[in-house]
Amino acid sequence: MPVSQLTPENRERAVDFVLTHALPLDKAVFYHHLLDGDPDTVLDELAALQNDDGGFHGMEADYQDAASSVLCTLRALEILEELDAPADDRMAARAVEYLLASYVPDWRSWPLVPRDDNVAPHAPWWHWTDEFDEGWGFFADNPRPSVAAALHVFPGNVEADFLREITEVVVERAAEVDPAAVQKDALECYIRFATTPAVPDAAREAVRARLPEFVEATLVTDPEQWGGYGLQPLDAAGSPASPLYASLREHVDRHLDHVIETQGDDGAWAPNWSWMGTFPEAWEQAEVAWKGVLTVKRLRQLAAFGRVG
């Protein structure tokens, strides 16, 4: 049975949306990865979002504070890694300096966002309260594994003993945590740690060994539920190179069909969440920004799996 393909016409509709509505950084990422565009354009757009403290802002449409956050800084470092930036890259080094300064020893982790006055537009889940950090489990599963992975990729400013300690903490936590407690975003952090070649082999393999249990407890496999929020097959295995792809192939193939079928009339793929009535005008803009991010993501995934006609 032939697999479904994104038609050339629908690909063009998606491309038109990205070029018309996506934010400059997302356009640059699109050009680089899908049209062999100049990576320096991506670097220029990243540089515009780096603050004086080395951290980044503006990388997350659901969190629009101009101050640096670990949330945005990690996304920037992921993009730099995708660009094959050298381990001593200056932009990355400044970002790592920010991460090291943001570390909370009592948690042995990093807050995703700093204490905030909640004035800038943001999604409800980023609304800061005195219970915010505890509500996120003091960030044991998100973002600690992702930060550890980033520090291995760009280790220039990181003391070896500290990096070793954080790596051990990630491995220990992965070994003991209840799989049912590892929800979508946390599981993506563990996947990042387990698939980052710069992470030492033993640590990477130890976490990778737990991934099937985490996925089994969290993965949404019912297509009827893919319109809601949760870990979906392409979140777990976003390319054929994923270590989880072989075991999830049937689910991934069905999810790819679903992605092709659910492209919007405007050519984009839309977020399956909202700000639930808060900051309504800002949400309208954030939704368009997310459509740009998600449309670039879907085009890259469909291309990786040979699903673009």
pLDDT tens-place string over residues 223-232: 999 999 999 9
Tens-digit pLDDT profile for residues 26-80: 999 999 999 999 999 999 999 999 999 999 999 999 999 999 999 999 999 999 9
Average pLDDT over residues 126-135: 97
Tens-digit pLDDT profile for residues 199-242: 999 999 999 999 999 999 999 999 999 999 999 999 999 999 99
Predicted pLDDT of residue 1:
58
3-state secondary structure 190-231: HHHHHCCCCCCHHHHHHHHCCHHHHHHHHCCCCHHHCCCCCC
Predicted pLDDT of residue 148:
99
116 SS3 class: coil
CB atoms within 10 A of CB 145: 30
Predicted pLDDT of residue 3:
86
- The whole-angstrom separation of Cα 40 and Cα 106 is 39
